[in-house]
Amino acid sequence: MNKSFWPLMNALKSRTVVPLSRSHFTYYPDKASKEVASSGNVTEKMNMFQAINNAMDLALAQDSKALLFGEDVGFGGVFRCSMNLRDKYGKERVFNTPLCEQGIAGFAIGVANVGATAIAEIQFADYIFPAFDQIVNEAAKYRYRSGGIFDCGSLTFRVPCGAVGHGALYHSQSPEAYFAHTPGLKVVIPRGPIKAKGLLLACIREPDPCIIFEPKTLYRAAVEEVPTGDYVSELGKAEVLRKGKDVTLIAWGTQVHVLLEVAEIANKEFQIDCEVIDLVSILPWDRDAVYKSVKKTGRVIVAHEAPLTQGFGAELAASIQENCFLRLEAPVKRVTGWDTPFPHVFEPFYLPDKYRCLAAIKELVNY
């Protein structure tokens, strides 16, 4: 049996099983986002699915070659992200596809290659694997294998991902690390409405194929003042959300909010000053921002929902060790999901919650 099954079972023995809801993290809305400050736009309160809808509305309005498609997209999608867009732009531009992820990816690559702007939705990240070959062997390599003559840029895959409280093994996975191994792709993960809109518009206009993994538990978690007009977030640029001097905490997506809460607790209860970084983009990722922070604090925790082995935290840990070794005060610590299939009723014990992250901080400080 997989060795990481036993820590999970030991945790179960000592804790009461409770249903998971979005209350397993505290949402920290962006209050002074760079995008809001620099856009000059009027803002409107939106949650994340509304911000994504707004981004796609802008993309379709500004680019007559833009197409939006996927399973149930014409009806608004299971998370309502494409709601009303078919009525506004017509069934020739916003339409349902067969239940075939390989077909969705193949069609997206084809239309992007002949000049369309393709926005393809994979309904759940867990079902992207039938399309894996098309994405990593076709989309990612198209420009390289043709010597720059052909490409399928202007191709964006929207992929709802991550824990939602009751998804279990086929609706809660975070497969971003599989794709971060593929040159030619760009992979981003937003933490909320403002970033989701800016990153999606940046992906749609990017000349390389992009995957935007959207943590589905954030779709309705909270609202932010989102600019209603056009703006983009820079791909490959991390954000330091909280300054600190003792420990660097790195995450993306939902886990950013967990670490922001952990940083507050650590400061209040233990006088440990944590710096929190939202990596934003994991391919490419912002090495300069990470190394600068690590050289200042000397201690690092990386937290993600995906399993430990070969999760993207492993890449961060190896790179930090290679480039910041003489400034480290302790080994890089990863707080992640377990190396098991994603559970259902035991989901609260699978996730790297604030208690596990706080314990990791104390361990590093006392190393």
The residue among 192, 227, 262 that closes a domain is 227
- Reply yes or no on whether the pLDDT at 7 is more than 70: no
Which residues on neighbouring strands pair with residue 188, listed in sequence order? Answer: 212, 281
Of residues 283 and 222, more confidently modeled: 283
Is the distance from CB of 162 to CB of 305 less than 8 angstroms? Answer: yes
Degrees to nearest 5, angle at CA 266 with 319 and 255: 50
- The two tokens of residue 59 are 């993309």
Those residues with Cβ within 8 angstroms of residue 34's Cβ, 6 or more apart along the chain or in another chain: 239
Q: Model confidence over 168-207: pLDDT tens digits?
A: 999 999 999 999 999 999 999 999 999 999 999 999 999 9
What is the CATH classification number for the domain harbouring 191?
3.40.50.970
Question: How many independent structural domains does the chain possess?
Answer: 2
Note the pLDDT of residue 136: 98
Q: What domain range includes position 40?
A: 34-227
Cα radius of gyration (the chain): 20
User: In this structure, is residue 46 part of a structural domain?
Assistant: yes
Q: Model confidence over 50-103: pLDDT tens digits?
A: 999 999 999 999 999 999 999 999 999 999 999 999 999 999 999 999 999 999
User: In this structure, is residue 232 part of a structural domain?
Assistant: no
Those residues with Cβ within 8 angstroms of residue 200's Cβ, 6 or more apart along the chain or in another chain: 52, 55, 56, 59, 156, 158, 190, 212
Residues 296, 221 within the same domain: no
Residues 144, 244 within the same domain: no
Q: Which whole number is the average pLDDT over 207-233?
A: 95
Those residues with Cβ within 8 angstroms of residue 33's Cβ, 6 or more apart along the chain or in another chain: 194, 195, 224
The residue among 205, 227, 249 that closes a domain is 227
The residue among 180, 209, 227 that closes a domain is 227
Residues 111, 130 within the same domain: yes
Q: Model confidence over 261-280: pLDDT tens digits?
A: 999 999 999 999 999 999 99
- Reply yes or no on whether the pLDDT at 118 is more than 50: yes
User: In this structure, is residue 69 part of a structural domain?
Assistant: yes
Q: Which whole number is the average pLDDT over 122-130?
A: 97
Active site residues: 101, 171
Task: Name the least confident of 29-33, 252-256, 302-306.
Answer: 29-33
Note the pLDDT of residue 318: 98
Kindly report the pTM of this predicted structure: 0.92
- Reply yes or no on whether the pLDDT at 147 is more than 80: yes
Those residues with Cβ within 8 angstroms of residue 296's Cβ, 6 or more apart along the chain or in another chain: 245, 248, 275
- Reply yes or no on whether the pLDDT at 283 is more than 70: yes
Q: Which whole number is the average pLDDT over 11-23?
A: 42
Note the pLDDT of residue 19: 38
